[in-house]
Amino acid sequence: MNALNIGDASKASGVSAKMIRHYESIGLIPAARRTDAGYRLYKDDDIHTLQFIRNARDLGFSIAQIDTLLQLWKDRGRPSADVKTLAMGHIQELDDKIRALQAMRDTLENLASHCHGDHRPDCPILAGLEGQPAITC
pLDDT in 10s for each residue of the chain, 137 residues: 589 999 999 999 999 999 999 999 999 999 999 999 999 999 999 999 999 999 999 999 999 999 999 999 999 999 999 999 999 999 999 999 999 999 999 999 999 998 888 888 888 899 889 887 655 55
CATH assignment of 1-76, among 3.40.50.2300, 1.10.1660.10, 2.40.50.140, 3.40.50.620: 1.10.1660.10
pLDDT at residue 121, as a whole number: 86
Measuring CA to CA, how many Å separate 12 from each of 29, 48, 66, 126? Answer: 16, 9, 20, 47
pLDDT at residue 118, as a whole number: 87
pLDDT at residue 136, as a whole number: 52
Q: What is the pTM of this model?
A: 0.83
pLDDT at residue 105, as a whole number: 96
Smallest CA-to-CA distance from 137 within 36, 129, 76, 118 is with 118
Domain boundaries, the chain: 1-76, 79-137
